[in-house]
């Protein structure tokens, strides 16, 4: 018998799509025993009362049975919690990433384009590439602001089937004005998805506007409010859209423990809301402390993280990133992405103790020679 391939490398080179071979896998750095300020997580654990309620709920589960395929109890609880209209649909995903994938799959006709701003959440681009869709973007300026006229013009030229707008944006932290986002929605030739992953820390939402606009969906996640370990996202919008996207969802995508855990969280939501408010308060304190350091420009943010740009006269972003890492503090080095993110770092809001550790370490790293 003659082998068709002389080596694994040759088989991969011949069989895997070239655009997939050209990609790099999404990298998550190791963080054991580090002060973890790199992934926009809630630094506050559940209090004992909530943790016990959660453990009691988990003890009732039958893990030998498949989960409720439609997450019916959770669906009804969240629909009521959000105050959604009866005609508004709701769909759960295994994190926002799965929902992004389903949305692109749903509209990915031959020649269809996916569009967003740049820089923004990297998975819009990556998943579009995974699925063989064309992806295009309009760059922000050096202050992370969008030329909305240019974006509207680009939509007219590119005719995207799907537009993603992160509101607030990741990794920059800022949000478009409501007026500017409405301009984009009303001018869009296709579906618009407003990604409100950081809604708990922002002042505005478009979730109720989905009733007004037939081509608008809002996507959210439980990850930023203390439930990152669940990997639970949800999509809100007209039922006709939700029904079409739901056809692409794999069965039992939301496991039994995730459904139960989210139900417990919703029944104790005031605790998570208080934690989110604490993070907003901590954000003010950390922004002020960062701004007092030499050689740092601090950008306004509506999320649970802060982006800073380092002065070219001092240590570079990669140098400071490595210095903090050596001190046991992990943040995000945005500089390798280039463009408007050159010499920028992204810092997740931690607990007051963690934030103080960060400031002290930065003070040493930025100390004039």
CB 293 within 8 A of CB 366: yes
Model confidence pLDDT, tens digit, residues 148-187: 999 999 999 999 999 999 999 999 999 999 999 999 999 9
Residue 27 has pLDDT above 80, yes or no: no
Distances in whole angstroms, Cα of residue 61 to Cα of each of 58, 228, 255, 256, 273:
5, 21, 11, 8, 27
| Domains of the chain and any CATH numbers | 15-44+271-365 (3.90.1150.10), 65-267 (3.40.640.10)
Distances in whole angstroms, Cα of residue 246 to Cα of each of 25, 27, 99, 154:
27, 29, 10, 30
Residue 1's pLDDT band (boundaries 50, 70, 90)?
very low
Please tell me the distance from the alpha carbon of residue 165 to that of residue 325, in angstroms, as a whole number. 32
Q: What's residue 10's pLDDT?
A: 87
Q: What's residue 2's pLDDT?
A: 54
pTM: 0.94
Please state the rounded mean pLDDT for residues 58-62. 96
Distances in whole angstroms, Cα of residue 50 to Cα of each of 54, 82, 103, 260, 261:
6, 21, 34, 13, 10
Please tell me the distance from the alpha carbon of residue 259 to that of residue 304, in angstroms, as a whole number. 25
């Amino acid at each position: 018998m003659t082998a068709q391939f002389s080596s694994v490398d040759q088989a991969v080179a011949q069989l895997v799509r070239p655009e997939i071979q050209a990609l790099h896998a999404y990298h998550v750095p190791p963080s054991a025993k580090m002060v973890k300020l790199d992934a926009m997580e809630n630094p506050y654990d559940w209090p004992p009362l909530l943790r016990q309620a959660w453990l009691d709920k988990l003890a009732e589960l039958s893990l030998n049975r498949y989960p409720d395929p439609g997450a019916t109890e959770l669906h009804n609880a969240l629909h009521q919690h959000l105050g959604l209209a009866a005609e508004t649909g709701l769909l759960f995903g295994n994190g926002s990433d799965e929902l992004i994938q389903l949305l692109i799959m749903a509209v990915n006709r031959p020649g269809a384009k996916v569009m967003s701003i740049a820089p923004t959440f990297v998975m819009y681009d990556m998943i579009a590439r995974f699925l063989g869709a064309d992806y295009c973007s309009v760059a922000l300026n050096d202050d992370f602001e969008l030329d909305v006229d240019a974006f509207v013009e680009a939509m007219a030229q590119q005719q995207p089937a799907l537009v993603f707008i992160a509101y607030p944006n990741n990794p920059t932290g800022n949000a478009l004005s409501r007026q500017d986002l409405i301009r984009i929605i009303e001018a869009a030739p296709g579906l618009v998805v407003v990604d409100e992953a950081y809604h708990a820390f922002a002042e505005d939402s478009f979730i109720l506007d989905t009733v007004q606009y037939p081509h608008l969906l809002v996507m959210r996640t439980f990850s930023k409010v203390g439930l990152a370990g669940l990997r639970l996202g949800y999509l809100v919008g007209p039922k006709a859209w939700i029904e079409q996207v739901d056809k692409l969802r794999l069965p039992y995508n939301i496991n039994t423990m995730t459904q139960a855990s989210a139900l417990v969280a919703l029944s104790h939501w005031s605790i998570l809301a208080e934690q989110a408010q604490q993070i907003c308060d901590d954000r003010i304190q950390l922004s002020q402390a960062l701004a007092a350091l030499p050689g740092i420009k601090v950008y306004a943010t509506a999320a649970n993280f802060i982006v800073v740009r380092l002065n070219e006269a001092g240590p570079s972003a990669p140098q400071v990133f490595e210095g903090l890492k050596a001190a046991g503090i992990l943040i995000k080095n945005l500089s390798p992405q280039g463009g408007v993110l050159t010499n920028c770092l992204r810092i997740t809001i931690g607990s007051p103790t963690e934030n103080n550790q960060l400031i002290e370490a930065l003070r040493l790293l930025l100390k004039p020679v």
